[in-house]
């Protein structure tokens, strides 16, 4: 197959390696080294996309990352499909399948182009002014139509199977941009041996000269997309998108780099000229045409008109002329263009028309001719335009660098280096004086002159927005959507600003710039997630006895990061039956429970007791060695934050337990106070959650189960005490505590020994008819005893007194966290919600947790709730339902009938003491 | 000029040159009845309702930058009212009811779109929390319903409800009347409406001081455009409220954090509702333009910088890719931050201050957009009458002294 617009020779493509690809189902051939855009141009295809709003036919405007028009979908399969890719950056590989977007039925004939006909009705912000009647029609009628019409490409429909890699790096010098300025900066720094990273978003850059330096890491296909405080930068490296067979390699890699010094060599971007019909396929930036010729050996047209206000377009004209294009005219906006490039053009015999412009173009799917300001119509198949160059200051601006306006050259440039950051080359504004033009080309006679090509923002839209009072450039941007397309205004922002400034009658710099935001070019979402998917999305924490529980048929629940055994159903039991059996067994014989997930903090030091005095409501000074106490921790606002048993092992050593999910929060609170409020205290905190496995042995047979395996501890130890010794031969901290109301022990052993100890105890437990029980039975058992679970029976608004735990407050202590707040008027008022038991009148009916508690059976909508049900279970022990809740003034309402909301109506219940079982506590002693 | 299809056609014929300015470019007068500091959605709505419902139009709304340029134009536009506490329910439901007719009220299409807000439950604790909300909402007359994972999938086909994922979806609470609106249009619509009623909206006018009489009451403000007298001042300045209030010697219980959001490149519709998950810290919807709008968390440290840390948005995207595995290949187009003012109980402060004549409306934290019409409405009432509207009466500054907190975060978040 021929490539009619490919030059005979030249370019950096590999002509020995033809590459077959397809676009919209049609087969083409390009060469290795082509981009999709250059290969299509070589085949004479300019029409590559449709615009967002008016569905106007569009060709390629640029040759790089700034491309607004040529957006395509590239799909390897249904899952590995990527919309909105810039054809100018899609590297060709054998078999590449690309399709155009946002058109129906085809790119050449798109019904959406009706919008173009209706364009006068669809000016900037039209949708704010209509679609309001009748009420509700926006959501039901208009919006669905608009949503359907909007959007660009199609998202993939299947989960992305590709992998994304992540790397953190430090370097002495990070260089963004591998053009001449970037490579020069690397060459200057390289001999010093500094660690250098140089990144460029092109597939190849002139890294050959750097190849000899082991201290220089060259990253092609890598975009520096974000600049964060303290010289922290994000880089996106594309690894496989250019390969015909990516294999199982990661598709992209996220680099997170902390750089001592950053050099930005991000170059400059050429600006289009704003004139009527400047968006037809075949009209492109002059520099882009030159790139297609020099890099890819492609002529963008055979009969070319150049429209410029900048000398660099002359060089492009000469190059195309020499390569065989006919450059029919150069129209220059300036009165007397001069300089060496102009002279070279004249030498080549190309006609130059000073003080000339284009005021209209013709051609439907490709430019056919242009109309000049002088009324001349010139036939052509390509127009090269140049309004000058804009330094790419995005990253500098993201780094909070201040920009200054260069009046003469009409661009913003960095005000100067920042600590650890400098700009080099064109990015710094170091561009040769070559002219330029901003704003609308004078002499226009109507017809749409586009500023933002992708979002279809015309010069008249910007002028109209200003006239409608949108005077801030941020308003203009948001009202017209200029600069908000996928190119983020790389080619449009300066013209938009100039047009707004002119309309406002203000100097351009006083209108200001919109904020440059991360990322420089769009970055794949999956890249940020990296390996954090599936199991690795969040680490799974497994208790030391997890495997045993799994083998025993446990069903698990997520509690924070932990997987906890919820119950151990046997032989076809459902959850309910399993829990009932486990509860009965614990009450009648005993149960073993893996309580290892409870948080544990070792609090050590001469001031440990004093520290706990300040962090917990309770008094710790007089707690005897070897004894335990239930501790309550409050927030500064006086509300219960966490609870747990605290044991004093020695005078200066406490073993503090916390709730499972509260552990990090409690340790953080402790550290926070220790480091910022009480630095004078000699205390050291160590999380020991994962060091100690905890096997709870609960039930009347608990002591009997332990006895054969404990020799050096007297098991007659009192309730709420702790002993150190050996259990099953393993060093242990043995607690006598109970969260079930039964005689109970908690065996703390090193996590690595947990299975061994469990096996021994389990074998013994089986002899006594005991069972393993899970968190659900634990919940029921504790509820029967009225023990609270922080986070379920409390919600961050509950005081100790609300819970009936006023006894846990060391009132004689001078201070503790939350003490002052407890005295606030709202925290001591009589009708605070108080923790009570709730017994449904129908004993079978289990209330719903979260049900609202109301005084009447049929509450009016909007009526006040007395409180809510915090916990509710079917109690096998009591053979009825039990519930706990918070009710306003609840302790004074014993015996009162209240009503609990359900999905349909209410059910009556009686307020009761929150202890349903063994109120005297006799069973604690077995 | 009244906005309508007719006016669009008429102007199209005239080459769209006939549209008048949507609001007047006002210069500050020496004195106003009321000065509102902050021309965000809440401040502009306040001015609008003052003029519209209380007949007070000698008002200036002062704005340091450009109107709607703060959190009003930086949020993820989610609207819902399914809050837990009765006080919050009433306030947010008041707002939601105003949303339902706001486009017609303002003659400005704010694109309120009740596409449903779904809050996912991933753990037993989440389920309990969601059920509690649903019970409370049902009693409060606010729609909120429990749906199964399959129903959630039917409502949002993009969702991954497989049982073997790290945090399987156990169900969701769905408020069908919840949804989104076009944030900029809200600011512009209120600005246009207020301006038409005589309110002066003065942009690029930074307040540099609050003047007080020897007896303590406010007498006006100092600004970069001169002194302005007023006996009533309403501060509605979001993240910078504490700075302004300090000018009057009032220390606010506020902390300001950067909060990030991001959008993807636009694609054809793939998601019709809003999905939120507290457990995995992510929420997402798709804008009319086709962009996926994704909210991230607040940074861990207080700051006035309108950019957040990379790892915060990265963590959010972990969660998004996990909930919606098909979007992993899509690309982030734009990431930005706003400064949110957070109170100790995560509920706003709307009302009087210890300084006579000085009123404040702040502390909306990460969720103020949804309240915009209601917030402006009740604050206007408060400024006009000197006493709170029944819906903002509980949201006093004094509650942090009395302890009468309205703690939505505590009720929703912590697990056992």
Q: Is residue A312 part of a domain?
A: yes
Residues B194-213 have pLDDT tens digits of 999 999 999 999 999 999 99
Residue among A661, A664, A666, A669 at smallest CA distance from A646: A666
Residue A576 has pLDDT above 70, yes or no: yes
pLDDT digits (tens, 9 = 90+) for B218-263: 999 999 999 999 999 999 999 999 999 999 999 999 999 999 999 9
Q: Is residue A521 part of a domain?
A: no
Q: How far is A644 from chain B (nearest CA, A)?
A: 12
* Interface test mutation site (partner B, options A129, A144, A165, A898, max chain B beta carbons within 10 A): A129
What six digits make up the tokens of A432? 């040769």
CB contact under 8 A, A138 and B113: yes
**A338 and A465 in one domain?**
no
Q: What is the mean pLDDT of residues B159-171?
A: 93
Residue A134 preceded by cis peptide, ω within 30: yes
DSSP strands (E only) in A408-458: 411-414, 421-423, 450-452, 457-458
Query: Is the per-residue pLDDT at B52 higher than 50?
Result: yes
User: Domain for residue A816, yes or no?
Assistant: no
Specify the higher pLDDT residue, A341 or A715.
A715
Q: Contacts of residue B7 in chain A, CB cutoff 8 Å?
A: 129
Q: Mutate which of A53, A146, A250, A850 to test chain B, going by most B C-beta atoms within 10 A? A: A850
A107 pLDDT higher than 70: yes
Q: Are residues A99 and A172 in the same domain?
A: no
A639 with A708, same domain: the answer is no
**Residue B296 pLDDT:** 83
Is it the case that residue B416 has pLDDT exceeding 50?
no
Is the CB of B335 less than 8 angstroms away from the CB of A519? yes
Whether residues B8 and A478 touch (CB distance < 8 A) is answered with no
- Token readout for A581 is 């059996």
Rounded to the nearest angstrom, the minimum Cα separation between A471 and chain B is: 9
Q: Which of B221, B253, B260, B218 is nearest to B362 (CA)?
A: B253
Kindly determine whether residue A850 and residue B318, on different chains, have CB atoms separated by under 8 Å: no
Q: How confident is the model at residue B414 (pLDDT cuts 50, 70, 90)?
A: very low
Q: Tell me how far apart the alpha carbons of residues B235 and B185 are, in angstroms, rounded to a whole number.
A: 22
Together in a domain, A130 and A254: no
- Among A397, A413, A433, residue at a domain's last position: A433
Contact yes or no for B309 and A228 at CB 8 A: yes
- With bands split at pLDDT 50, 70 and 90, how would you rate the model's confidence at B114? very high
Q: What is the pLDDT of residues A809-820, one digit of tens each?
A: 998 999 999 999
pLDDT classification of A284: cutoffs 50, 70, 90: very high
| pLDDT of A418 | 96
From the list A661, A861, A868, which residue is nearest B141 (CB)?
A861
Residues of B in contact with A162 (CB under 8 A): 328-329
Residues A684 and A727 in one domain: no
CB-CB under 8 Å, B128 with A797: no
The mean pLDDT value for A453-463 works out to: 96
Q: What is the CATH number of the domain that holds A650?
A: 3.30.70.1400
* Summary mean pLDDT of chain B: 94
* Bridge partners (DSSP) listed for residue A839: A910
Measured between CA atoms, the residue of chain B closest to residue A140 is B113
Query: Tell me, what CATH number does A837's domain have?
Result: 2.40.30.110
b/e string for A659-688 if b means 16 or more Cβ within 10 A? bbbbbebbbebbeebbeeeeeeeebebebb
Q: What is the CATH number of the domain that holds A314?
A: 3.50.50.60
> Please, are residues B362 and B375 in contact by the beta-carbon 8 Å criterion?
no
Contacts of range A142-149, beta carbons closer than 8 Å, 24 or more positions apart: A143/B111, A143/B113, A143/B288, A146/B288, A147/B269, A147/B286, A147/B288, A147/B290, A148/B268, A148/B269, A149/A112, A149/A115
Query: Chain B residues with CB inside 8 Å of A232's CB?
Result: 310
Q: Is the ipTM of this complex over 0.90?
A: yes
- Asked whether residue A542 is domain-assigned, the answer is no
Give the pairing type, strands A382-386 and A283-285. parallel
Kindly identify which residue of chain A lies nearest to residue B4, measuring between CA atoms: A130
* Least confident residue range of A136-145, A530-539, A689-698, B316-325: A530-539
Q: Which residues pair with A389 in a beta bridge?
A: A270
Please, are residues A525 and B320 in contact by the beta-carbon 8 Å criterion?
A: yes
Say what the pLDDT of residue A341 is: 87
For residue A707, the 8-state DSSP code is: G
Residue A206: give the domain boundaries: 162-269+389-433
pLDDT at A395 over 70: yes
Average pLDDT of span A248-258: 97
Which chain B residues are closer than 8 Å to A854 by Cβ? 139
Residue of chain B nearest A790, judged by CA positions? B416
Nearest to B99 by CA among B117, B119, B125: B117
Residues A130 and A88 in one domain: yes
Question: Which residue from A133, A469, A528 is facing B22, i.e. has the nearest CB?
Answer: A469
The nearest CA of chain B is from the CA of A404 a distance in Å of 20
Rounded Cα–Cα distance for residues A832 and A827 (Å):
7
Residue B412, pLDDT score? 56
Mutate to test the interface with A, among B141, B156, B267 (most CBs of A within 10 A): B267
Contact assignment for B415 to A560 by CB distance below 8 Å: yes
Number of Cα atoms under 13 Å in the Cβ half of residue B44: 31
* pLDDT at position B415 over 60: no
A823 Cα to chain B: minimum distance (Å): 9
In a domain, A289, yes or no: yes
Instruction: With CB atoms and an 8 Å threshold, state whether A796 touches B409.
Output: yes
The proportion of chain A whose per-residue pLDDT surpasses 90, expressed as a percent, equals 94
Please answer yes or no on whether B139 and A854 come within 8 Å at the CB atom.
Answer: yes
How far apart CA A462 and CA A459 sit, in angstroms, is 5
Q: Are A906 and A920 in contact (CB under 8 A)?
A: no
In a domain, A3, yes or no: yes
Integer Rg of chain A from CA? 37
The structural domain count of chain A equals 7
| Nearest residue on chain B to A541, alpha-carbon basis | B166
Both A117 and A145 in one domain: the answer is yes
* CB contact (8 A) between residue A534 and residue B112: no
Per-residue confidence (pLDDT) for residue A385, from 0 to 100: 98
Interatomic CA distance for residues A708 and A704, integer angstroms: 7
> Last residue of a domain, which of A732, A752, A785?
A785
Helices (H), ranges, A785-897: 819-822
Residues A593 and A603 in one domain: no
Establish whether the linkage from the previous residue to A105 is cis, with ω within 30° of 0: yes
pLDDT class for B164, splitting at 50, 70, 90? Answer: confident
Domain-located, residue A845: yes
Distance in Å, alpha carbon of B39 to nearest chain A alpha carbon: 13
Rounded Cα distance, B240 and B208, in Å: 12
Q: Residue A402, class by beta-carbon neighbours within 10 Å (0-12 exposed, 13-18 middle, 19+ buried)?
A: exposed
Q: What is the residue-averaged pLDDT of chain A? A: 96
The answer to whether B137 touches B89, Cβ cutoff 8 Å, is yes
Q: What are phi and psi of A477, to 5 degrees?
A: -60, -50
CB-CB under 8 Å, B134 with A232: no
Asked if residue A306 lies in contact with residue A315, where contact means CB atoms within 8 angstroms, the answer is no
Task: Delineate the domains of chain B, giving CATH numbers in brackets.
Answer: 114-177+255-342 (3.30.9.10)
Query: How far is it, in rounded angstroms, from Cα A808 to Cα A618?
Result: 5
Do A65 and A143 sit in the same domain of this protein?
Answer: yes
Clarify whether residues A584 and A733 are in a common domain.
Answer: yes
Distance from CA of B2 to the nearest CA of A (A): 8
Contact (CB<8Å) A464/B265:
no
Angle at which helices B372-385 and B41-54 cross, to 10°: 50
| Closest listed residue to residue A629, CA positions, set A782, A716, A735 | A735
H-only helix segments in A100-250: 114-117, 137, 143-149, 180-189
B213 to chain A, minimum CA–CA distance in Å? 32
Residues in A touching B19 (Cβ below 8 Å): 464, 467-468
Residue A1 has a pLDDT of 54
Domain end call among A374, A407, A433: A433
Using the predicted structure, report yes or no on whether residue A206 has a pLDDT greater than 80.
no
Q: A359 in helix, strand or coil?
A: strand
Q: Examine the pLDDT at A615 and tell me if it is beyond 50.
A: yes
Q: Which of A631-635, A812-816, B309-313 has the lowest mean pLDDT?
A: B309-313
Residues of B in contact with A481 (CB under 8 A): 289
Could you report the per-residue pLDDT of A176-185, keeping only the tens digit for each?
Answer: 999 999 999 9
In a domain, A535, yes or no: no
> Which pLDDT score, from 0 to 100, does residue B413 have?
45
State how far the Cα of A178 lies from the Cα of A425, in Å rounded to an integer: 11
Helices A663-676 & A608-615, crossing angle to 10 degrees?
110
Q: Give the per-residue pLDDT at B17.
A: 84
Tell whether A334 and A470 lie within a shared domain.
Answer: no
Position B411 scores a pLDDT of 60
Residue B308 has pLDDT above 80, yes or no: no
Q: In terms of domains, do A247 and A311 share one?
A: no
């Amino acid at each position: 197959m021929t490539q009619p617009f490919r030059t005979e020779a030249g370019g950096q493509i590999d002509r020995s390696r033809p590459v077959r690809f397809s676009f919209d189902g049609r087969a083409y051939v390009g060469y290795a080294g082509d981009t999709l855009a250059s290969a299509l141009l070589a085949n004479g295809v300019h029409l590559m996309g449709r615009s967002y709003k008016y569905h106007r036919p569009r060709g390629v405007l640029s040759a790089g990352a700034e491309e607004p028009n040529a957006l395509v979908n590239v799909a390897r399969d249904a899952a590995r499909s990527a919309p909105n890719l810039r054809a100018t950056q899609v590297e060709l590989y054998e078999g590449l399948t690309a399709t155009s977007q946002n058109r129906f039925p085809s790119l050449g004939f798109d019904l959406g182009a009706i919008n173009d006909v209706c364009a006068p009705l669809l000016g900037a912000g039209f949708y704010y002014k209509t679609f309001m009647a009748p009420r509700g029609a926006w959501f039901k009628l208009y919006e669905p139509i608009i949503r359907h019409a909007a959007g660009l490409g199609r998202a993939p429909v299947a989960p992305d199977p590709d992998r994304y890699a992540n790397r953190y790096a430090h370097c002495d010098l990070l260089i963004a941009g591998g053009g001449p300025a970037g490579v020069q900066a690397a060459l200057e720094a390289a001999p010093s041996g500094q660690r250098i990273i140089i990144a460029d978003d092109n597939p190849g850059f002139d890294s050959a000269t750097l190849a000899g330096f082991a201290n220089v890491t060259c990253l092609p296909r890598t975009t520096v997309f974000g600049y964060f405080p303290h010289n922290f930068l994000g880089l996106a490296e594309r690894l496989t998108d250019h390969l015909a067979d990516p294999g199982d390699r990661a598709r992209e890699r996220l680099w997170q780099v902390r750089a001592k010094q950053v050099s930005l060599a991000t170059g400059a971007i050429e600006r289009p000229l704003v004139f009527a019909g400047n968006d037809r396929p075949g009209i492109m930036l002059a520099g882009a045409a030159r790139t297609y010729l020099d890099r890819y050996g492609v002529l963008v047209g055979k009969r070319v008109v150049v429209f410029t206000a900048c000398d660099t377009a002359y060089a492009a004209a000469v190059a195309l002329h020499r390569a065989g294009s006919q450059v029919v005219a150069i129209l220059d906006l300036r009165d007397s263009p001069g300089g060496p490039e102009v002279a070279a053009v004249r030498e080549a015999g190309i006609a130059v028309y000073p003080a000339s412009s284009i005021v209209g173009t013709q051609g439907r799917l490709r430019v056919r001719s242009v109309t000049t300001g002088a009324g001349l119509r010139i036939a052509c198949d390509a127009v090269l335009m140049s309004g000058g160059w804009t330094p790419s200051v995005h990253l500098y601006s993201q780094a909070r660098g201040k920009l200054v306006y260069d009046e003469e050259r009409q661009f913003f440039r960095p005000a100067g280096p920042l600590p650890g950051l400098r700009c080099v080359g064109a990015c710094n504004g170091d561009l040769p004086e070559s002219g330029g033009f901003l704003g609308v080309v004078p002499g226009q006679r109507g017809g749409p002159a586009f500023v933002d090509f992708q979002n279809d923002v015309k010069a008249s839209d910007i002028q109209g927005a200003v006239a409608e009072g949108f005077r801030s450039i941020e308003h203009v941007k948001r009202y017209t959507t200029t600069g908000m397309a996928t190119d983020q205004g790389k080619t449009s922002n300066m013209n938009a600003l100039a047009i707004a400034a002119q309309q406002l009658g203000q100097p351009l710099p006083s209108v200001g710039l919109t904020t440059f935001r991360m990322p420089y070019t769009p970055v794949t979402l999956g890249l940020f997630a990296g390996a954090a998917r599936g199991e690795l999305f969040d680490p799974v924490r497994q208790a030391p006895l997890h495997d045993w529980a799994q083998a025993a048929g446990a069903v698990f629940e997520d509690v924070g990061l932990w997987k906890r055994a919820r119950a151990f159903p046997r032989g076809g039991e459902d959850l309910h039956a399993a829990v009932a059996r486990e509860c009965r067994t614990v009450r009648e014989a005993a149960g073993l429970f893996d309580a290892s997930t409870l948080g544990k903090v070792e609090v050590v030091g001469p001031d440990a007791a004093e520290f706990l005095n300040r962090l917990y409501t309770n008094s710790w000074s007089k707690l005897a060695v070897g004894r335990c106490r239930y501790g309550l921790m409050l927030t500064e606002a006086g509300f219960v934050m966490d609870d747990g048993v605290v044991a004093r092992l020695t005078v200066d050593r406490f073993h503090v337990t916390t709730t499972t999910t509260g552990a990090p929060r409690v340790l953080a609170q402790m550290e926070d106070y220790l480091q910022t409020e009480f630095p004078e205290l000699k205390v050291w905190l160590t999380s020991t959650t994962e060091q100690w496995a905890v096997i709870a042995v609960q039930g009347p047979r608990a002591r009997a189960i332990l006895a054969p395996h404990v020799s050096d501890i007297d098991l007659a130890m009192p309730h709420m005490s702790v002993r150190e010794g050996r259990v099953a031969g393993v060093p242990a901290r043995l607690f006598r505590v109970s969260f079930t109301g039964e005689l109970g022990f908690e065996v703390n052993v090193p996590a690595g020994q947990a299975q061994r100890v469990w096996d021994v105890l389990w074998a013994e437990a089986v002899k006594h008819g005991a069972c393993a029980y899970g968190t659900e039975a634990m919940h029921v058992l504790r509820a029967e005893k009225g023990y609270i679970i922080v986070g379920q029976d409390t919600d961050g608004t509950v005081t100790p007194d609300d819970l009936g735990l006023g006894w846990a407050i060391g009132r004689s202590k001078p201070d503790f966290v939350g003490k002052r707040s407890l005295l606030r008027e709202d925290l001591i008022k009589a009708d605070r919600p108080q923790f009570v038991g709730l017994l449904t009148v129908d004993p079978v009916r289990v209330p719903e947790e979260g049900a609202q508690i109301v005084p009447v059976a049929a509450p009016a909508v909007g009526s006040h709730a007395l409180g809510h049900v915090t916990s509710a279970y079917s109690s096998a022990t009591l053979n009825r339902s039990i519930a706990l809740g918070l009710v306003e003034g609840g302790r004074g309402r014993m015996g009162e009938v209240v009503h609990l909301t359900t999905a349909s109506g209410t059910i009556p219940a009686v307020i009761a003491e929150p202890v349903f079982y063994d109120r005297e506590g006799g069973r604690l002693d077995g | 000029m009244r906005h309508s299809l007719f006016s669009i056609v008429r102007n199209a014929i005239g080459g769209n040159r006939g549209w008048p300015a949507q609001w007047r470019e006002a210069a500050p007068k020496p004195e106003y009845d009321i000065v509102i500091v902050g021309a965000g959605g809440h401040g502009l709505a306040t001015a609008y309702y003052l003029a519209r419902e209380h007949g007070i139009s000698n008002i200036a709304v002062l704005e340091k930058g450009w109107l709607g340029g703060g959190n009003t134009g930086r949020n993820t536009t989610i609207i819902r009212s399914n809050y837990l506490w009765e006080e919050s329910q009433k306030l947010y439901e008041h707002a939601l009811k105003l949303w339902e007719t706001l486009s017609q009220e303002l003659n400005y299409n704010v694109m309120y779109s009740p596409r449903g807000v779904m809050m996912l439950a991933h753990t037993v604790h989440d389920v309990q929390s969601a059920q509690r909300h649903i019970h409370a909402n049902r009693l409060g007359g606010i729609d909120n319903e429990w749906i199964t994972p399959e129903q959630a999938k039917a409502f949002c086909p993009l969702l991954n409800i497989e049982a073997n994922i790290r945090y399987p979806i156990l169900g969701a609470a769905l408020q069908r009347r919840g949804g989104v609106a076009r944030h900029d249009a809200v600011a512009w619509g209120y600005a246009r409406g207020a301006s038409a009623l005589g309110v002066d909206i003065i942009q690029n006018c930074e307040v540099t001081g609050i003047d007080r009489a020897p007896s303590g009451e406010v007498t006006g403000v100092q600004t970069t455009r001169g002194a302005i007298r007023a006996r009533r001042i309403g501060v509605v300045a979001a993240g910078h409220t504490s700075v302004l209030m300090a000018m009057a010697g009032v220390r606010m219980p506020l902390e300001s954090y950067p909060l990030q959001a991001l959008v993807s490149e636009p694609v054809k519709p793939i998601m019709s509702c809003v999905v939120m998950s507290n457990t995995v810290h992510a929420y997402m919807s798709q804008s009319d333009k086709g962009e996926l709008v994704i909210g991230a968390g607040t940074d861990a440290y207080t700051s006035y910088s309108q950019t957040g840390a990379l790892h915060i948005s990265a963590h959010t995207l972990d969660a998004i890719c996990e909930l919606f595995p098909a979007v992993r290949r899509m690309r982030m187009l734009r990431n930005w931050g706003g400064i949110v003012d957070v109170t100790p109980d995560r509920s706003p402060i709307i009302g009087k201050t210890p300084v006579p004549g000085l009123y404040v409306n702040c502390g909306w934290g990460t969720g103020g957009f949804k309240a915009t019409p209601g917030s402006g409405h009740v604050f206007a009432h408060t400024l006009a009458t000197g006493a709170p509207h029944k819906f903002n009466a509980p949201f006093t500054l004094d509650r942090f002294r009395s302890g009468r907190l309205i703690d939505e975060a505590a009720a929703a978040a912590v697990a056992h």
